[in-house]
Structure 1
Amino acid sequence: MDPVVARRRPVAETRNGERGTRNRAGERSCVCSAFRPPRSAFCVADHRKRTKLTVAERERVVTLTGPELWDVPYLFMTGHGNVRFSDEEVKVLRRWLEQGGFLHADDDYGMDKSFRREIARVFPDHPLVEVPLSHPIYHLVYDFPKGIPKIHEHDGLPAQGFGIFLGNRLVVYYSYQTDLGDGWEDPEVHHDPPELHEAALRMGVNLFTYAVSSTR
């Protein structure tokens, strides 16, 4: 099976691809509108073009409690509201990550407080820490000596990459104060300058490549 990226399914979204997400339940669980179709098509095509990985042609939208979660190595979630996992989702997400999954959470401005609360329920014994600049995720395909790039200004604070490690393996990556996912949109959506759009895509390639090369 080709590697696919999963978006967590928001509650009101229909299945539309071959990656992985959830639905957007208003602001109940902003988690996973992740890629709108133009974003997903562009980002998946970019992975296929820039790496030697065999990547499925479309993303897959998944639920944390559905069997399809176990077919994907990379789960992307984003939003700007209140994230809340059910007790069952907490258990399943932890087990999936322990068994080789990789979660990339991208704060779309407003998700920080609730994401930190919920991921602490998943790994109460493994706090989020800043990922060191020497980590392969910043150098695997493209070199980011200063860490994750800043794509959108928001509060004007520096972009940061936080993570949760199980042993030496990074299993959760949290991109904060950057809005990396918006940089994956077609350029005309957010009018990002070409250099920021390119930086976002390159960082995405590093993240996905790390995820599929370090799983299980």
Structure 2
Amino acid sequence: MRKFWILLTVISFFAHSQPVKIAKLKYDGGGDWYANKTALPNLIEFCNEQINTNLAISEDVVDVGSPDLFLYPYVYMTGHGNVVLNNVQVENLRNYLTSGGFLHIDDNYGLDQFIRIEMKKVFPELEFVEIPFDHPIYHQKFDFDKGLPKIHQHDGKPPKGFGLIYEKRLVCFYTFESDLGNGWEDQSVYNDPQEIRIEALKMGANIISYAFTSAL
């Protein structure tokens, strides 16, 4: 039944019968899950204009343990600090992801050490693997032959796209040392060059496109 609702939302998305909502994930532990406040609205606007999506103009907020999680084919998670998932939240997130849902974790600098531990609770049998550059997520409308764009320097490491693959489907895409969400923010927030912001938005559009098509 839960998978049915996700598929119904995806079908609505492609039929353009009504706007489809995406959501930001609220989690416990004290980390700033609410970071990048202007990011998703800007990504939504870009997707509606550039890849002909029918996304509602503002995102929802959904708790990781809520049954409402299943209303959203794409859920965005970000932050800088601690993440703690209890048993109920772990079970709910696993059920969501194995039923057709898609989680995009975007490290906003400082999330890595926490999220790896918590996602191991969700999928103890899986490891994050680096997603190869020829994967479809890098080649939707926009081609990223070298993988993720580098938006903010942070530690100066190359950007990496990691994933959890369940039954041959990429259910969680983890963008590390890239900081796509900062690139989606209003230019007044970080004053990044426009060409950098556009690269971030293009990659975000690819992720949105992949999330919806992979659920079918």
| Separation in 2, partners of 1:149, 1:88 | 35
**Alignment match, 1:33:** 34
Structure 2 match to 1:120? 120
Amino acid at match of 1:137: I
What secondary structure is seen at the aligned counterpart in 1 of 2:57?
coil
- After superposition, give the CA deviation of every residue in 1:113-160 in whole Å (9 maximum; x if it has no partner): 000000111001010000011100001110000001110000000000
Aligned residue number for residue 3 of structure 1: 20
CA contact (8 A) 2:66 2:92 kept: no
Code of the aligned partner of 2:22: V
Residue in 1 that maps onto 2:94: 94
Provide, for residues 17-48 of structure 1, a one-character-per-residue CA deviation record: whole Å limited to 9, x for no partner. Answer: xxxxx16x6xx242621541x33322211111
Report what 2:165 is aligned to. Answer: 165
More relative contact order, 1 or 2 (CA 8 Å, 6+ apart): 2
Aligned to 1:108: 108
Give the Cα separation in 1 of the matches to 2:20 and 2:120: 28
SS at match of 1:164: strand
Letter in 1 for 2:139: H
CA–CA distance in structure 2, aligned partners of residues 33 and 4 of structure 1: 17
Distance 1:29 1:90 in 2: 17
TM-score by length of 2: 0.88
Q: Distance in 2 between matches of 1:119 and 1:56?
A: 28
* Aligned-pair Cα RMSD in Å: 1.4
Q: Is the contact between residue 160 and residue 176 of structure 2 (CA under 8 Å) also seen in structure 1?
A: yes
Mapped to 2, the partners of 1:165 and 1:156 lie a distance apart of 27
> 1 CA distance for matches of 2:22 and 2:121?
24
Q: Is the 8 A contact 1:7 1:34 kept in 2?
A: no
Conservation of the 8 A alpha-carbon contact between 2:44 and 2:57: yes
Whole-Å Cα distance in 2 between the matches of residues 82 and 182 of structure 1?
A: 19
Cα deviations by residue, 1:79-135 (Å, 9 ceiling, x for unpaired): 111111111110000000000000000111111000000011100101000001110
Deviation at 1:214, TM superposition (A): 1.0
Which amino acid is 1:181 matched to? Answer: G
Residue aligning to 2:71: 71
Q: Is the 8 A contact 2:164 2:173 kept in 1?
A: yes
- Distance (Å, rounded) in 2 between the aligned partners of 1:101 and 1:108: 22
Contact 1:3/1:212 (8 A) holds in 2: no
- Give, in whole Å, the separation in 1 of the partners of 2:56 and 2:190: 26
The equivalent residue for 2:179 is: 179
Distance 1:67 1:35 in 2: 24
Q: Partners in 1 of 2:206 and 2:80 — Cα distance?
A: 24
Same amino acid, percent of matched pairs:
41
Counterpart of 1:17 in structure 2 is: none
Map 1:126-141 onto structure 2 (within 5 A): 126-141=126-141
- Number of aligned pairs? 199
* In 2: Cα distance, 1:131 partner to 1:45 partner: 27
Greater share of residues in helix: 2
Question: 1:31 & 1:5 partners in 2: Cα distance?
Answer: 19
Structure 1 residue runs of 5 or longer lacking an equivalent are 9-21
